[in-house]
Chain A
Amino acid sequence: MSASTADSATPVLRLENVVKTFGDRVVLAGIDLTVDAHEVIALIGASGSGKSTLLRTINLLEQVDDGRVLLTGTDITDPRIDADAVRARFGTVFQHYNLFPHLTVLDNVTLALRHVHGVGKAAAAARGLELLDRVGLADFARSYPDRLSGGQQQRVAIVRALASGPEVLLLDEITSALDPELVGEVLELVRDLGASGTTILMATHEMAFARDVATRVVFLDAGVIREEGTPDQIFGAPRDPRTRAFLDRVTSAGRGAAPDDTTAG
């Protein structure tokens, strides 16, 4: 489903010394990270470690206070760049789905195609239905989001993010607001996307899932990357004492999900 056309030499995404502060609070204290095409990267770390802020600085919902972000070689933190056009190249999925309640499922999915990418109504609908069908939600195309379960809504949100063929999919703790029995269907979809070559950067509390699906795991602590490596290395033999401490804490908490502070939905 990926429409990534970046040539293999340039990384899809490259973060250089990204700093973000809110007042006196330093949320990101110099992040360096490279994402290559078809990678599935899991950002792990405690609540408040900067995972969500990192994702939001990447798609320009936040302004960086230092450093830069390169998307296929272009500096997107340059203030002269068209931020709307940059955001359109990412697909973003939020913790609380954020579907548009006044639009049908299909209209949610095709909104960006029609009004950002200039695709005609019929062509957009055809593309939207095809994608919805692929995730088993074509029957709900004409329904409004509030008729769907949380898991279905989140799958629609993922389809909405994918519809215009983004270069990177940003997933911000997309299962944290779901009932436990609905988490599986959403993770299943992310797994399929990863397997089919979509470049994914996801903040997650699902350690078992990160271990299973990610090609690389990045541990964030107090705004810096403490450790990164393959899932086997991070979960099997973490080198940094803080990574060890974090993993001990979340695995002893049950199924590996730390209690999350819920923001308003």
Chain B
Amino acid sequence: MSPHRPPVTETNSAVVDRTPSALELERRAFRARSSRRSVLISLASTVVFAALVAVFVVGTPGWRSVQETFFDPEVLVAAWPRVIEGLWLNIRVLVVASIGVAIVGVLLASVRTLRGPIFFPLRLLAAAYTDVFRGMPLLIVLYLVGFGIPGLGLFPRMPMEFWGTVALVLTYSAYVAEVLRAGIEAVHPSQRLAARSLGLGYIASLRLVILPQALRKVTPALMNDFVSMQKDVGLISVLGAVDAVRAAQIETSASYNFTPYVLAGLLFVALALPTIRLTDWLTARQREREQHGSVV
């Protein structure tokens, strides 16, 4: 019916079989020289920095005893099974809490974007919720939920990791709701108009058109909250749940050696690394898309 537009031409595909001019060759040679020089400089400075750290840390008068108390391989091996078992609890709590946070966060964000006077009480409630739980330290929420709610005698006896999960969901859903709300508001209003004029209702428009676009806009921010929650699951140990941190504490009190804590810490880092890398990758991809390959 009409000519199709050819696909967007890549920047350099038009000059593939051309021999570069002397000017371009000179520019490339200069860039190669300067990038070689930067690599050498960074290599040298890394070596110098590592040497300085080694000399200063290992050279401190107390290094020997610190090494024995914090980096004892025998204690590490002995603590390994128990700490790993504890970490497995952390992972389970993390999975359940993530699902809970996703559900409560989406609900809160949706309520906060409702319009019309009838929803005023709901909006107010949601706003108060996010204010309170973003403001209150997670540790205090853990204590209040973990020791307060069971004290009401309303619920059957639950394991402490259950109340820890509830506290995590309460706190993190407040953060996630705010991130999602920002995403929802960043979707252009014309998208809502288009959805509504197709006959989609308010909820259907939100679910099918607005939320998917909002999520895309805030993925890096959400991942960041997830990384943060990954390490905060370690705080459920204050309620007595035997997670990796609590297991390390038990091991430490038996051996008077802090190596189990270092082990637990490193395991948490290892747990977070894939998510952190994924976040970086997503952020970079998004930037690339929006900048269309520009060099700045």
Interface residues of A (CB under 8 A from B): 59, 61, 84-85, 87-90, 92, 94, 96, 98-102, 111-112, 115-117, 135-136, 139, 147-149, 151-152, 160, 164, 184-185, 188-189, 264-265
Contact = CB atoms under 8 A, between A and B. Distances in A.
15 contacts: A84-B196, A87-B197, A87-B199, A89-B199, A96-B190, A98-B191, A100-B209, A100-B213, A111-B208, A116-B198, A136-B1, A149-B5, A185-B1, A185-B2, A265-B190
Given A115-B208, A147-B7, A152-B5, A94 B193 contact: yes
Contacts, number: 78
Interface in B191-245: 191, 193-201, 204, 208-209, 212-213, 216
A88 B201 CA distance: 10
Contacts of B2: 136, 151, 184-185, 188
* B interface SS class: helix
A112 B193 CA distance: 13
Contacts of A139: 4
Chain B interface category by residue count: 20 to 34
A71 B213 CA distance: 33
B31 interface: no
Contacts of B287: none
B188 interface: yes
Contacts of A61: 193, 196-197
Interface of B: 1-2, 4-5, 7-8, 188, 190-191, 193-201, 204, 208-209, 212-213, 216
* A interface SS class: loop
Given A112-B198, A116-B198, A148-B5, 15 more contacts: A59-B197, A61-B197, A84-B199, A90-B197, A92-B194, A92-B198, A94-B190, A100-B191, A100-B195, A100-B209, A102-B212, A111-B198, A111-B200, A116-B204, A189-B1
A164 B191 CA distance: 19
A148 B199 CA distance: 25
A86 to B, nearest CB: 8
A135 B1 CA distance: 7
